[in-house]
Structure 1
Amino acid sequence: MHQNTYLPEEFLREMQAIMPSGYDISDFVAACRRPLRKSIRVNTLKISVDAFSQRASDKGWHLSPIPWCDEGFWIDADESIAPLGNTAEHMCGLFYIQEASSMMPVSALFNNLEDEFRTILDMAAAPGSKTTQIAAKMNNEGVLVANEFSSSRVKVLHANIERCGVRNSALSNYDGRVFGGWLPESFDAVLIDAPCSGEGTVRKDPDALKNWSKEAVLTISQTQKDLIESAFHALKPGGVMVYSTCTLSVEENQHVCLHLKNTFPDLVSFESLSSLFSGADKAITEHGFLHVFPETYDCEGFFVAKIKKLGRTTPPSVKKRLGKFPFEKASNKIKQEVAHKLYQSLSIELPSQSDIWLRDKDVWLFPSALEEFIGEFRFSRMGIKIAESHKNGYRWHHQVATTLASGAEPNCIELTIPEARDWFMGRDVRPENQSGKGEVIIKLGDDVIGLGKWVGNRLKNGLPRELVRDKNLF
């Protein structure tokens, strides 16, 4: 129990005033002081839910299904030797440690099986829980623009995208308010998990409300209104948007959505989430939004709204100054050469719906759906870097293995657990009685963990710096 959880009296009065009938403030306070249940989401870009469940059972992990996410589970695991984040399964990208309620927005975005999303914007993406969840739902197809305003958090976002084998993303580093003018009516779907006062997060951070004030809530609400308008302009007519926060105040939630409705009265349709999962009615508001208090499902407080755009809007006008795009699309001849050399070296095939782009000696794989945005917007990172060219061919990069290899390729080396520990700590390894030439796919069991290069009997480590760990490994 977090008995020292800070809950300001004014905040509690605000909560009591907006609680649905049948709720009691004492239950709310008790829930806020209860530690969160740990939860994870299986990354289906790497492993099926059934295969992961079997592996978890073998390890003695107990999984309990999360009702609103087919890939989500509450987990009970012994972390006395190594925390879940330092297990081999996590470092291989097989799962993401994600709070249960934060899985709701992406589930809401994809709850209509008739919707097909080729272009999606995740407007406030770091650290990447929802971005990687969206990429898995897209099965790495189409293009996912993942934007983050904080430049320092972009590094964390990229590391998680890289770990989880995402290859259809394009990262950007802007205030989300630019999208409505720069990329109007460009996306089939938009997720805006808006920056907020974090009222729902006290169960994992007892000091989350140390600086809480009503004035701050109202200030943040104005920013959220600007962001939701920008997101709406960026959405194609007929497209869908999910607006979510990890806060509880109506000013940051219902009022923001109603502001959008008042601004575009004939173009906004609220899509009810009452059938998103069994029991959703416990949190449904009069407009069909999910307003989740901590005690409702024993998770973080959260808010989720789904909105459909019924027609065209007039976006704000902007003057674009992009400069020269530093990449050049490869000719068919070069693309065929890269594909041939990659298959010859590692038995890996280039995926469909992707194109080769060149920057000096660097070889990149971009999702084909990204091409319509080139010349319209500046991204900080697009697709995956797969190689560097040199006079004798290509030097392949880490993500070739982790995003394109299945592990069934013949040119693989399986490490022992001690060797894999060294590998994840950034060290070269020397597999016993083995040697070779050139690059090779590195595995731990059936899981691809990277790309190495033989130097005599030593495998040179190709793990990117941001994925290196230094202690408490599996």
Structure 2
Amino acid sequence: MKLPQTFETRMRELLGEEYGEYEKSLEEKHNSGIRLNTLKITPEEFEKIAPFGITRIPWIKNGYYYEQNEQPARHPYYFAGLYYIQEPSAMTPASLLPVTPGDKVLDLCAAPGGKSTELGARLCGKGVLVSNDISNSRAKALLKNIELFGIRNPIVVSEAPGKLVDYFTGYFDKILVDAPCSGEGMFRKSPAIMKNWEQYGVDYYNKLQKEIIVQAAKMLKPGGYLLYSTCTFSPEENEGTISYLLEQFPEFQVVNPLADSSVSYEGFSHGRPEWVKGREELKNCIRLWPHKIKGEGHFIALLRKGDSEDTPRQTGQPESYLGKAKLTKEAEEFLSELVIPFKEENLMVKEDRLYLLPEGLPSLKGLPSLKGLRLLRQGLLLGEMKKGRFEPSQALACALYKGDYKKTIDFPGDSPQAIKYLKCETVEGKSSFGDGYHLITADAYSLGWGKLTGTSIKNKYLPGWRWM
């Protein structure tokens, strides 16, 4: 691999005697991985049914390597949202942010959703997950992945981070900033990134990173945690950005994120404050080098926000919205058949679409909900109320787990029927519940909806998601 000369010279200076090992690692194949959706399946359960060869990733409890000749995206389990295809090192940031159910969590630069889907799974449907990406097209891919994973409490936004500060100052318990960067850690996996590096360099991204991390800091509660990550080696973009944050917000401190003794962090390296003439606490930062682990390059810093006299606080009360939503008879009948807990006051109707909203959204400036933001999704879309019928959504189907809906038609996971269904073709099936809407599953994992008439199932799978 021909590296840019400026990059090679600097890496030789940073790595010293290790540079030869790093250079050799660039000639090796990159590692491919999947991360399980723990909302739907446990590692122990998946290992019994895995349709391709897998090996555990030592530092990710629900992460696995798979061989490059495998195609995990060509199996119904992928369409059932059982796993997310993700580079192993990229799984690390979300695994190290200490999220617990009930937290209010922000993924600030979230597309295409690798980190948001893990954060949402760890929330277990409780609290709020706000996933944002400034690019509207990328945010649409983010929304699909969040819905595919069956996350019930999302807010998907496409805004510049600075605009979110007006709505969420001092609101979040946990924030993840996977910042745009020069991508040096991905040269092996995607050599084309080198052209981007030569065009923009480090300084361009470092300016962006400083702006974004300051905006994120303003949205974090005192006592909350902010995790900053990049996929680059550059000290300016890594320890340098964290040093800048500490100067702007003295109440922050860098903490060691490697507290989980049930996994192996062998091969991880600590931060290098001497590279930026920074504070000693920068040693608590983490670097992943491709010559030390089976993964690409990454940098991670976990920070805790203390109190300060001028710390702004989010003072709005949880949103009451517009009172009880007006539902059609058909919508009420359908909801009565769902075995999932929800409060009626968290239902919202907008243009005949019915949503289940997360609890605890901010009510600021007298605005109902989050008016003024470019929202792609506010809560879980349950379906659409039409004249004489209720059509449940693809998002709801994905968010139903075993036992949440009785009217189910199940196909074997590797069956031709499951694949035909995912290709939006008509399939045959039987049910003891008679005609009408049924949840179509593969090995009891939800795929989507079908409308049964006799033994013929009219396919209601979302066409834009179909198996090609």
Contact 2:101 2:124 in 1 (8 A): no
**Equivalence for 2:67:** 76
Shift of 1:185: 0.6
Shift of 1:275: 3.8
Change (3 A) 1:302 1:335: farther
Matches within 5 A, 1:11-160: 11-19=7-15, 23-56=17-50, 59=51, 61-76=52-67, 79=70, 83-110=71-98, 118-160=103-145
Matches within 5 A, 1:385-464: 385-407=381-403, 409-415=405-411, 417-431=415-429, 436-464=434-462
CA distance in 2, matches of 1:443, 1:405: 10
Change (3 A) 1:141 1:188: same
CA distance in 1, matches of 2:311, 2:165: 6
**Equivalence for 1:271:** 255
CA distance in 2, matches of 1:400, 1:179: 27
**Equivalence for 1:382:** 378
Report the secondary structure of 1:469's partner residue: coil
Quick check: 1:341 aligned with 2:334? yes
TM-score by length of 2: 0.87
CA distance in 2, matches of 1:353, 1:169: 18
Match of 1:209 among 174, 187, 194: 194
Instruction: State the AA in 2 paired with 1:75.
Output: Y
**Equivalence for 2:270:** 284
Report the secondary structure of 1:380's partner residue: strand
Deviations for 1:384-417, whole angstroms, at most 9, x for unmatched residues?
2212224545232223322034257431112362
Change (3 A) 1:340 1:431: closer
**Equivalence for 1:233:** 218
CA distance in 2, matches of 1:194, 1:171: 18
Change (3 A) 1:448 1:211: closer
Gaps of 5+ in 2: 273-281, 313-318
Report the secondary structure of 2:224's partner residue: strand
Match of 1:305 among 301, 308, 325: 301
CA distance in 2, matches of 1:456, 1:354: 37
Change (3 A) 1:256 1:354: farther
CA distance in 2, matches of 1:195, 1:243: 11
CA distance in 2, matches of 1:367, 1:397: 17
Change (3 A) 1:350 1:260: same
Report the secondary structure of 2:193's partner residue: coil
Instruction: State the AA in 1 paired with 2:349.
Output: L
Match of 1:366 among 357, 369, 383: 357
Contact 2:285 2:302 in 1 (8 A): yes
When the two chains are superposed, the root-mean-square deviation of aligned CA atoms in Å is: 2.9
Shift of 1:18: 2.0
Contact 1:42 1:72 in 2 (8 A): yes
Shift of 1:78: 5.3
Change (3 A) 1:234 1:16: same
Gaps of 5+ in 1: 317-324
**Equivalence for 2:324:** 331
Deviations for 1:347-388, whole angstroms, at most 9, x for unmatched residues?
433446982100132111111123547247622211222122
CA distance in 1, matches of 2:328, 2:346: 8
Report the secondary structure of 2:194's partner residue: coil
Quick check: 1:198 aligned with 2:183? yes
Contact 1:387 1:396 in 2 (8 A): yes
Shift of 1:70: 0.8
Change (3 A) 1:376 1:409: closer
Larger CA deviation: 239-248 vs 171-180: 171-180
The number of residues matched between the two structures is 443
Change (3 A) 1:341 1:294: same
CA distance in 1, matches of 2:230, 2:392: 40
